[in-house]
Amino acid sequence: MLGNIKQLLGKKSKKLKMPIFLLVIDSVFYGIFIGVMYFVLLDLIQDTFSVEKIKEYTWIMIISFIIRTIISSIGYSGIQIQGARAIESMRIKMGDHLRNLPLGYFNKNSIGEISNIMTNDLQDFEKVITHNTSELIKISIISIYLLIITFFIDFSLGLIQLIIVLGSLPLMFYGGKRASKIGKGKKKIIAVVISRMVEYLNGIKVFKSHNMVGEKFERLEKSFKDFRKESIRTEVAIVPYVLAFQTLIDLSFPLMLIISTTKFINGNINNIYYFTFVILNLALTYILRGFSAQYGEFRYLKLASEKLIKTYNEKEISYEYENHQFKNYDIEFENVCFSYEEDDPILKDVSFKAKEGTMTALIGPSGSGKTTITSLIARFWDIQSGKIKIGDMDISKLKPDNILQNVSMVFQEVYLLNDTIYNNIKIGNQKATKEKIVEAAKIANCHDFIESLENGYDTIVGEGGSTLSGGEKQRISIARAILKDAPIILLDEATASLDADNELEIRKSIDKLIKNKTVIVIAHRLNTIKDSDQIIVLNEGKIEEIGDHNILMENKARYYNMYTEMEKAKLWTI
């Protein structure tokens, strides 16, 4: 466990050493209390008790209590403060690490699982550091310390005592093992509960519209019930072992009392040693009782650190250059093959070049790989073979942030933060002045609607932008992109889900956004991309046709058919 703490906290783990050391010292002071009791007994037996001595003992006790209180309060508050600081920096480190993981990690792990790691597991780990580990270290030190003194009093009594303690330990270890095994199940259920909760809250609008709120709530309720069952199972699983361990330890006291009394009656140990042994044994029994419950909890909490280490060891996206300056913004795919899952190729030997300042439209049936191509340009995923280049530089050598600084993405699914409209636009460029933000909003045709809101740019948009219409959200995201002014634009063209007015507004603002940029647009309607410099027709992950409108019309293949169908449909509407 100490290894886990070191690996996860890095240098910060060093700061925990001092408070833990103070807590150890605190446990040593416990010995002073036992020592005083020993001398009190000694005086009683030897009839050397006096008022002077009582005063002396009382002062020793008072001073040791004061020192103990000071040391333990510094130690405990130190471990809480340092622990909280270490966890805070670990949270940031983990967040950063997650950001740098390939998207494949998020495909394999549910939102519930990842949220669980970032909340509950980190919290459990904090508990291990601030509470559990120090407590276990303290109990272990006091127990070893008392056992050693017992050996000095009488070797055979010490040996019997040690055998009893060692004989009881397997019960405790087995209980801990059970807590760890069943705890894994509990952790899985927690992840399911979080996933269902996210699903329920995210989908509440859809569930309501389909009258499925009750049905979906049943799913959530079931996960709550499973969670309750698993929590009880985890708690109950360890109880028999804790009780058996405690009973054995409790029984050791009368047993040791009989053995030591017999030794005393037979004259094998003197009265002073006898009384001291009885006191030590009583103290040891009391301390060891708490050991098993602490250990069970420790094993459960330790699961969190194992999961954190596993997440932490997930390989981040590798790169050679962090701050590459592109010589131009041509985008080139060279024989690119890509699959999200093994043995399920999505893009098959895709090659094309989108020259700087031109517009390339991707068309093709649903699932043909259009969105995948845009995700690969942003290096959300790494390809299995071939090369993707921006300005002649292989993007697999670049830090994703370096690429994303030069790319703006405008997709239909716009996610806005639960913040003001102003801050949502500002995401495009954190250094932008208010004038620049308003200017971007004007170009994106959203300034007027923002101004018409009661709080204007200070309006809070609700989580995901829930208080705005689809078109409004999209225009804000375009304002964001305009503010960013990136040389590459990845665009998912608006679908028919927007009304005609909204669509026209969006169309106009997009035209301003894409001027002089390298644009890759996922097209849903052919009339909007007719003037593109290049049109790529995709089918089942392969490029079926490539060229401008005129060339593709001359080809008289899929594009020609789609286009003539569209033209015919237009005539029908007229």
Residue 389 Cβ, how far from ligand ATP at the closest point, in Å?
A: 20
Tokens of 75: 């130690």
Closer CB to ligand ATP, 172 or 537, in the complex: 537
Residue 339 Cβ, how far from ligand ATP at the closest point, in Å?
A: 8
Residue 16 Cβ, how far from ligand ATP at the closest point, in Å?
A: 40
Cβ distance 94 to 122 under 8 Å? yes
Residue 365 Cβ, how far from ligand ATP at the closest point, in Å?
A: 7
Query: CA–CA separation, 426 vs 429, rounded Å?
Result: 5
Closer CB to ligand ATP, 154 or 492, in the complex: 492
Tokens of 328: 């131009």
Please, how many CA atoms are within 13 Å of residue 393, restricted to the half-sphere of its CB? Answer: 21
Cβ distance 403 to 382 under 8 Å? no
Residue 345 Cβ, how far from ligand ATP at the closest point, in Å?
A: 10
Query: From its phi and psi, is residue 267 left (phi > 0), alpha (psi between -120 and 50) or beta?
Result: left
- The separation between the first and the last C-alpha atoms of the chain, rounded to the nearest angstrom, is 75
Closer CB to ligand ATP, 339 or 423, in the complex: 339
Residue 459 Cβ, how far from ligand ATP at the closest point, in Å?
A: 31
Closer CB to ligand ATP, 59 or 340, in the complex: 340
Closer CB to ligand ATP, 109 or 371, in the complex: 371
Closer CB to ligand ATP, 107 or 123, in the complex: 107
Residue 112 Cβ, how far from ligand ATP at the closest point, in Å?
A: 17
Query: CA–CA separation, 223 vs 225, rounded Å?
Result: 5
Amino acid letter for position 491: L
Residue 216 Cβ, how far from ligand ATP at the closest point, in Å?
A: 23
Closer CB to ligand ATP, 227 or 411, in the complex: 411
CA 420 to chain centre: 26
Closer CB to ligand ATP, 193 or 538, in the complex: 538
Q: Which residue has the tokens 């593109």?
A: 532
Q: How far is CA 304 from CA 8, 130, 236, 459, in A?
A: 11, 14, 20, 40
Cβ distance 269 to 214 under 8 Å? no
Q: Which residue has the tokens 């292989």?
A: 394
Amino acid letter for position 452: S
Query: CA–CA separation, 113 vs 310, rounded Å?
Result: 13
Q: Which residue has the tokens 């029984």?
A: 251
Closer CB to ligand ATP, 370 or 549, in the complex: 370
Q: Return residues touching ligand ATP (CB under 6 A).
A: 107, 340-341, 346, 364, 366-372
Q: Is 471 exposed, middle or buried (0-12, 13-18, 19+ CB in 10 A)?
A: buried
Cβ distance 410 to 513 under 8 Å? yes
Closer CB to ligand ATP, 177 or 524, in the complex: 524
Nearest C-alpha neighbor of 128 from the set 13, 281, 253, 283: 13
Residue 549 Cβ, how far from ligand ATP at the closest point, in Å?
A: 20
Residue 329 Cβ, how far from ligand ATP at the closest point, in Å?
A: 23
